[in-house]
Structure 1
């Protein structure tokens, strides 16, 4: 058996905040061969870590696959920050615990993708991982929005991607597709594959496409003068007395603010009251997994569109909000507590 065959096939699933990376991984997990074990490494900008809970809950829903899908979460910043230690520690634990047949890595939508790829293909992992195509999801509706297309992280994700995927296309018009295809056609070097999909539906065959080392080298050469300022996402205490019902978290960095709450296992929300509170919020992203009197739900809100999806049982409710401005978090916290109806 060749040395390459001994390595673990590994893909990075990237894209800007709210583009549907976690949903895409869920769709790929549905296609996982039953006899394979997959490891999922998730990195989030916020401190609470919702995506890991979503993926774990999703894996629990797949019959007889719970032990075949291992999720490791690294909240609160970029995988490659602090000399790459968070990624190395998380990845090493994932490899030793899961002994996976394949690894999928979901960096934060504001991570330094170039450095992540460099670390994964460097000497520390070159004999362990077979780094395949980097898959970047894009919301075509954002291609006319300067706050996205002018963002350095967005540009790096597009440039470094081997596969470009237009996601969230179910309500877009044909002219949106033409605009996206024109955008993709102008990229140089050309992508190995350009896809138009919805709900993160990507074929498992896409994972076998190779990483384009020439593209990575060209990108690095073009950015030699671009400093890699990590601007670590700092965790800061919120000045308020502790509450036995929950733990609060706060962080900021790269021009964004995150606010998170982890409620203890006894806390149950009124679904309608919570929906009434969360749906009008104008934030960059809102994610949650919650226990309610009507069951457990995952909440995902991007650009004012709030979706509620039933999920399996939870240990605890988690809510995370990411905003471009500081929020009146004390009032928000009080309103969240007012949405609690009883303790189990």
Structure 2
């Protein structure tokens, strides 16, 4: 009998959301609910190879004793829902058998295909080990205002796969826009519950749910958190439907190996892609360009110049990093509508990753793309003090 077969009904929550939706913030809020006497685990899948989200959450864990008993494992370098089940099986099996968590949270990349991942998690291999709870999808309302997002099939897929939609960045929308947003969501998903997120930095905001009268306002952050914890113990309508549709399907052949990196919480690496700094890569996947750097911790960047350089990159969609700068160690989390900069503990190395929208009208070949990235690499290195 395998160790995995002994594990039974571990509560598992899938937290999805399109690129730049704010998943890391919501996951940090969920982790705050961990009882001190429980061990939780977090499986993170990143589109890039560097592994920024895991480092960001590990940094938050080091600053919060309540989060100290959380095992973090990463699958980097691609989407775990693509090509084969092997990366997911390896990462999950290792995490469960080595760490024995009492609750599991899975964060797929923002460019994932949620339906494919749900089908994988409904495989008989996991049905007894995992008890799948409500799928939580984080939704950026400012993104929705832009037609390029509303018409994007990947953006729509995350909404369609949600049991619970956590909507943030909605404060700038007026009543008519909020009604239009809810109507648009209903065309993709008729059953999802909506939670309106509230920033912790504000004491009170007006309730903007169009179904709530003006007299029922002032939903505070504690109220939001009390709503957010509920999906951790709710059964998933979406996953149950997926299981029913999947009953007669065959298992995916797991002999095809995904080229990504599988790292366990014990820091074992199945395939070393970004082992020791200095390391730099770039790639194109789907309609996105992605590149990243791991550099020695002793490399200190001029922060003002670094920020200016990053923001002038063309068509960037996401910038994440843990960087040693002239202003100390900083964690960067940039989206086109939000620039978040926070202090960080000292790290073992500098990490930076950027995702850009590919120019579909461009005729650049791989050689030209490599020349552009090499030029950016030289420019970045010139910012080291």
**1:216 alignment counterpart:** 242
2:195 is matched with: 195
Partner-residue secondary structure (3-state), 1:148: helix
State the shift of 1:130 in Å.
0.3
**Residue matched to 1:246:** 278
2:142 matched to which residue of 1?
141
Secondary structure of 1:169 counterpart: coil
Tell me, in whole angstroms, the C-alpha distance in 2 between the residues paired with 1:261 and 1:207. 35
Decide whether aligned partners of structure 1 residues 163 and 254 sit closer, same or farther in structure 2, where only a CA change above 3 A counts. same
Segments of 5+ residues of structure 1 without an aligned counterpart are 222-229, 236-243
Q: Trace 1:23-172 onto structure 2 (pairs within 5 A).
A: 23-63=25-65, 65-66=67-68, 68-172=69-173
1:284 paired residue number: 317
TM-score, normalised by the number of residues in structure 1: 0.84
Of the structure 1 ranges 152-161 and 166-175, higher mean CA displacement relative to structure 2 is found in 166-175
How far the C-alpha of 1:16 sits from its partner, in A, is 0.5
Change in 2 beyond 3 A, CA 1:128/1:175: same
* Conservation of the 8 A alpha-carbon contact between 1:234 and 1:251: no
Q: What do the CA deviations read for 1:153-202 (whole angstroms, capped 9, x no partner)? A: 222211111111211234444444333233334455321x2111145965
Post-superposition offset of 1:145: 2.8
CA shift for structure 1 position 125: 0.7
Q: Does the Cα contact within 8 Å between 1:233 and 1:254 map onto a contact in 2?
A: no
**Partner SS state of residue 18, structure 1:** coil
Length, aligned pairs only: 319
Correspondence 1:321 to 2:354: yes
2:11 is aligned with 1:9: yes
Instruction: Name the one with the larger strand percent.
Output: 1
The C-alpha deviation readout for 1:261-320, integer Å capped at 9, x for no partner, is 001232222222212222333401111111123221111111164221112221111111
Provide Cα deviations, 1:26-78, integer angstroms capped at 9, x if missing partner: 11112221111111111111121111111111111112632x11111111111
Distance 1:103 1:97, change over 3 A: same
Counterpart for residue 332 of structure 2: 299
Aligned counterpart in structure 2 of residue 261 of structure 1, from 280, 290, 293:
293
TM-score (norm 2): 0.75
Give the Cα–Cα distance (whole angstroms) in 1 for the partners of residues 52 and 345 of structure 2: 14
Q: CA deviation at 1:215?
A: 4.3
Superposed displacement of residue 233, structure 1:
8.4
Indicate the residue corresponding to 2:265 in structure 1. Answer: none
RMSD: 2.8
Structure 2: give runs of 5+ residues left out of the alignment: 201-223, 248-255, 262-275, 359-368
1:207 counterpart (218, 232, 249): 232
Structure 1 distance, partners of 2:326, 2:88, is 38
CA drift of 1:219 comes to 8.3
Cα separation, 2, equivalents of 1:339 and 1:127: 52
Distance in 2, Cα, partners of 1:245 & 1:96: 30
**CA distance, structure 2, for counterparts of residue 318 and residue 128 of structure 1:** 34
Query: In the superposition, relative to structure 1, how do residues 175 and 312 fare at CA in structure 2: closer, same or farther (>3 Å)?
Result: farther
Q: Is the 8 A contact 2:32 2:67 kept in 1?
A: no
Equivalent residue for 1:275, pick from 286, 300, 307 = 307
- For residues 244 and 195 of structure 2, what CA distance do their matches in structure 1 show? 23
Which is worse superposed, 199-208 or 158-167? 199-208
* Distance across 2 between alignment mates of 1:178 and 1:299: 33
Judge conservation of contact 1:167–1:196 (CA < 8 Å) in 2: yes
Secondary structure at 2:30 match in 1:
helix
